[in-house]
Amino acid sequence: MGGVGNDGAPARVVLGRLGAPWGVQGWLKVESYTDPPDAILDYPVWELAAPGGDAPLREVRVLGGRPHGGKRTVLVRLEGIDSPEAAKPYATLEVRVLRSALPPPGPNEYYWVDLLGMEAVTLDGVPLGRVSHFVELPANPVVVVRQGAKEHWVPMAPAHIRRVDLAARRIEMDWDPTL
């Protein structure tokens, strides 16, 4: 599941965002979206792309990395970047990998990319809309379901997300459709 995007191209997953250069050898800070944050280093080849853009700008090899400072920050050294000046143009680019490169999720675990576009319904089968995107909030992530101009912000918690059927592309939610 999740192997091909809507345009027929292989699906890609955003694992993080490059930040400011660090040090004199061209290392970059990375805001990692993986859990744990240094798991982003498990992927030896990254595609770098403008945020929200479709086409990768460059494919790079990861030469080294380590956790750094903040909760989600990792330092990384990329092939072909050996100075702060060479690293600077890469700040703010997204780090992507092919969906097929990700390990299979565990039981009752899902990659968000696999849930995008799924039909969301209540436990009684009342349509809520389609999964549009996700928002990270301090308490827990939220799945945003859109139906026309209406949005439902449903906490990503077992109390609300009751059943995910990847094959049918459907999520059953314990949610009041009038909210």
Amino acid type, 122 = T
What parts of the chain have a pLDDT lower than 50? Answer: 1-8
Domain at 12-101: CATH architecture: Beta Barrel (2.40)
Whether the model clears a pTM of 0.75, i.e. scores above it, the answer is no
List the chain domain ranges.
12-101, 112-173
CA dihedral sign, ordered 49, 45, 140, 163: positive
Q: What is the per-residue pLDDT for 72? A: 84
pLDDT tens per residue, range 51-91:
877 666 788 899 989 888 778 899 999 999 899 999 888 89
C-alpha 154/C-alpha 173 separation (Å) is 8
pLDDT tens per residue, range 14-25:
889 999 989 888
- The CATH class for the domain spanning 112-173 reads mainly beta
> How many angstroms from the chain centroid is the CA of residue 88?
23
Q: Is the bond leading into 177 cis (omega within 30 degrees of zero)?
A: no
Q: Residue 116 gets which letter from DSSP?
A: T
